[in-house]
Structure 1
Amino acid sequence: MTTPTLDTVDRLAGLRADDDVFHLRRRRPVTREQLQASSDALFAPLDDSEFALTERLLVAAFATRATADDATAAHYAALAAEADASRAAIVAAEASAAATAGPFGTYAEEGLRGESTDGRRYEPALAARDALGERLTAALAHAHLLTARPRESGAAALDRLLDAGWSVDGIVTLSQLVSFLAFQQRVAAGLRVLSEASAPALEEVPA
C-alpha cells in the first residue's frame, strides 16, 4: 500500500499520514492541489528573472515572522537561511522588530474613516538598507504594508517599488507572494488547532 504523501501545508501544520485531519484534507482534493500548485509556482518558478527565488524566500521569512512566530515562519526562516544565511539573519532581526498583530490603517473613504486604527509602521533600519540593498528593503516594507496596513496600499506604495528597481511583473509576483503566504499561514494554523483538538478526543475512545 502506498504511503500518502505530505504536502507543504501538511508539514506546516504538523500533520501525519495517520491523522484524522490529514485524511479530512483529502476529501477536498482540488482545493488541496490548487494550494500546493500555488506554492510550487511561487517557490519553484520556471522563471525567476524578475523576482529571484532567494529574494522570495527572504521576503517570505520576513512576512511570516512579522505576523506570527509559528511553524510557517520557522519553515521559511530555515529556507531563507539555507539560501543566504547572512541576509536571512538580517531579515529575521527586521521581522522581529516589525512584528505586529494588525491589520491597522486609515480608510480613504469618508464614511469609513471613523473605523480607522493606528498601529506599527515599518521602516527598514539604515543598517538593513546598507546590507540588503534598496530593492530588497523596499520589498520588505511593501510586504509589511500589505499584511499590517493593507488599506493604505496604493499608487504611492507601488511607485516606491518602481523607484527601488522593481518591474511591474516583479511587483505583481511580490504582491501575490505576500497574499499567498497570509492565506497559507492561516490555513496551517487552523489545521494545527483542529489536529490538537482532535487528538484528546481520539485518546478517550475505548480501544
Structure 2
Amino acid sequence: MTDIIDTLAGIPPGGALDQARRARLQSRENAQLSYDLLLHPQEAGDLPLETRRAVALFVAALHGDAGIQAHYRALLVEVAPDLVPVIEGLSVQGKGVGPFGHYPAGPLSAENSEGVSFTATGVAPPLAAALNHAHFLTLHPRDASPEKLQTLLDAGWTTPAIVTLSQLVAFLAFQLRVIGGLRLAQSVSPAAQPATTH
C-alpha cells in the first residue's frame, strides 16, 4: 500500500526509518487513512473535493514546503485546474512565520504578535471563508474564538463541513511536521538509509 508520508518524506524501503515506521503500523495506517478520507473521499459530503484540495494546497504553500506543495497542486489540478494559480497567489499574500496571536494576560503575553492579516479574494464566498479559516488555524491559533466559527456559518457552512475543514487543517499540520522530522532524521543519520550491497 502506498504511504503518502513515506513518499513525500522520500523514505527508501529497507532503511532504519522505514523499519521504525513499520514498527508502529497502526499509527502509520491511521495517518494514511486520514489522508485518504480527507483528500480522496468516496463521498465528499458537505465539503466539496475541490475545496478540500484547494485548502490543502493553500496550507502547504503557507508552510513553504515545495515538495508537499507540488503534491497538493497536482491533486487540485485533477479537479479544478483554474483554481491553482489563484490559490498559490493567495498563499503568497498570506505567508508568514507564526504562530501569531495573543495569549490571555499573564507571563506569556510578552510573546503576543499581530502577525500577518489575510482576507481571501477572487474566489467564491464559501471557499474564501474556508481559506480565511485555514489561515487562521495555521498562523493565528492563539486567537481561537466562537466568532471565528460564526464567520463560516455566516458564509453558509454546515457544522459537519466546519468539523471536516478543521480536521483537514489539523491533519496537514501533523503531516508537515512528521515529514519535516523524517527528512531531518535522514539528513543526519546514515543509519536511516537502506543497506547497499557491493
Aligned twin of 2:91: 95
Q: Report if aligned partners of 2:186, 2:192 keep a CA contact under 8 Å in 1.
A: no
Q: Report if aligned partners of 2:134, 2:169 keep a CA contact under 8 Å in 1.
A: yes
Q: Report if aligned partners of 2:15, 2:192 keep a CA contact under 8 Å in 1.
A: no
Amino acid at match of 1:21: L
Tell me the distance in 2 between the aligned counterparts of 1:30 and 1:70.
Answer: 28
Cα 1:201–1:76 change in 2 (3 A) is closer
Alignment of 1:18-29 (within 5 A): 18-29=14-25
Cα 1:117–1:202 change in 2 (3 A) is same
Aligned twin of 2:105: 110
TM-score (ref. length: structure 1): 0.87
Tell me the distance in 2 between the aligned counterparts of 1:143 and 1:170.
Answer: 13
* 1:123 correspondence with 2:114: no
Aligned residue pairs total: 196
Aligned twin of 1:198: 189
Alignment of 1:30-41 (within 5 A): 30-41=26-37
Aligned twin of 2:63: 67
How many percent identity over aligned positions?
38
Tell me the distance in 2 between the aligned counterparts of 1:25 and 1:6.
Answer: 13
Q: Report if aligned partners of 1:6, 1:17 keep a CA contact under 8 Å in 2.
A: no
Superposed CA deviations along residues 22-77 of structure 1, whole A, max 9, x for unmatched, are 22211111111111111122122243120011110000000111122332222111
Aligned twin of 1:45: 41
SS in 2 for 1:110: coil
- Of 154, 164, 168, the match for 2:159: 168
Amino acid at match of 1:102: G
- Of 8, 12, 18, the match for 1:16: 12
Tell me the distance in 1 between the aligned counterparts of 2:170 and 2:193.
Answer: 35
Tell me the distance in 2 between the aligned counterparts of 1:165 and 1:202.
Answer: 49
Tell me the distance in 1 between the aligned counterparts of 2:57 and 2:186.
Answer: 25
Tell me the distance in 1 between the aligned counterparts of 2:109 and 2:190.
Answer: 45
- Of 140, 144, 151, the match for 1:153: 144
Superposed CA deviations along residues 108-164 of structure 1, whole A, max 9, x for unmatched, are x22243331221111123xx2xxx200001100100000100111211111111111
Query: Which structure 1 residue ranges, 5 or more long, are not aligned?
Result: none
TM-score (ref. length: structure 2): 0.90
Q: Report if aligned partners of 1:19, 1:195 keep a CA contact under 8 Å in 2.
A: no
Query: Which structure 2 residue ranges, 5 or more long, are not aligned?
Result: none
